[in-house]
Amino acid sequence: MNTAGQVRDAVVHEVERSGFRAHGLHVLVGDDTAEHHWSPDVRRDVHSVAKGVVVLAVGIAEHDGVLSLDEPVGTLLPDVTLGPGVPAVTLRHLLTMTSGIDMPWSPTETTDWPDLAREFLGRPTVGRSFRYANASTYTAARALAARVGDVGAYVQDRLFTPLGITDVVWDRCPLGYVVAGAGLWLRTAEVARIGRLLRDRGDVDGRQLVPAGLVDAMHGDPVVAGSSPAYDRYALAGWGGPGRLWRLHGAYGQLVLLDPVADAVVTITADDHERADATAAAVARVLADLEPVARTVT
């Protein structure tokens, strides 16, 4: 059995011991892969994993020269009335959740106001402080759309199709824009392809699909997000930890866990919000026992 298979078996054991309601598991270690499914690998909402996809799309657009992460959002959406202090808010602030705009989550937030982006940007900012909000990513995607057109189509063309992922569906607001902070429907195996892209710093089969520096920024130089050990560091959509890992983390246990030391990615889809953090910590313990992997050079 290869190393990925050993990791898979150890994670399956932890999942079944804890009762974590997992749907699917994919393990990548070096060149080896292994997977396990507790239910059919159908497309499900991967929740905040979508935030990482939006960051990748913005990184591609920045590489194309059509926008900058450090561009004030007001220049991208010039017809929106900005609240006090908001003219200083950049696209990077929106994607690192440091706009300082307070916007509590609501399950109906895309229909609570005629235009969520206008509502969000019309509120005051308290300065560069962490405020986690789906509305922040939604607004960033609206800013991206102002330069590239429909974000769903852009991501399909520039990211998903090269990854071999076809016909992806996003939830959309009443105005027709992608929800962006969630509402992206993918299979476990498809999320795992995004995980491989992150592990390989934007490279896909020798093609630099996303700038390596952008992927590095998804977990490098994080901001202080809070005091909870599981949620104390946040960068461009990437959470720090557990342990030496970094991760994309969606509600109800959607996890892309990356271990740069072991050259490993563990992807999990699930329907279990309460036990997701403990499961991520268990994966970190399993990966901590691995020696660094030397991949085959082709």
Q: What pLDDT is recorded for position 290?
A: 85
Distance CA 267, CA 235 (A): 19
Q: Which of 62, 174, 21, 156 is nearest to 111 (CA)?
A: 174
> Taking the CA of residue 285 as centre, how many other CA atoms within 13 Å lie in the half-sphere pointing to its CB?
10
**Where are the extended beta strands (E) located within 137-278?**
169-170, 184-186, 203-204, 207-208, 223-224, 233-234, 239-240, 246-250, 254-259, 264-270
Q: For position 298, what pLDDT does the model report?
A: 44
Residue 142 contacts residue 175 (beta carbons within 8 Å): no
At 125 the pLDDT is 96
Predicted model pTM:
0.96
Q: Residue written as tokens 């795992």?
A: 192
Q: Which amino acid is present at 159?
A: L
> Residue for token digits 């609501």?
106
Which region holds residue 253: left if phi is over 0, alpha if psi is between -120 and 50, else beta? left
Question: What per-residue confidence (pLDDT) applies to 204?
Answer: 96
Neighbours of 280 (CB within 10 A): 22
Determine the pLDDT at residue 42.
98
pLDDT at residue 297 in the model: 47
pLDDT digit string (tens) for the chain, length 298 residues: 799 999 999 999 999 999 999 999 999 999 999 999 999 999 999 999 999 999 999 999 999 999 999 999 999 999 999 999 999 999 999 999 999 999 988 889 999 999 999 999 999 999 989 999 999 999 999 999 999 999 999 999 999 999 999 999 999 999 999 999 999 999 999 999 999 999 999 999 999 999 999 999 999 989 999 888 889 999 999 999 999 999 999 999 999 999 999 999 999 999 999 999 999 999 999 999 887 655 554 4
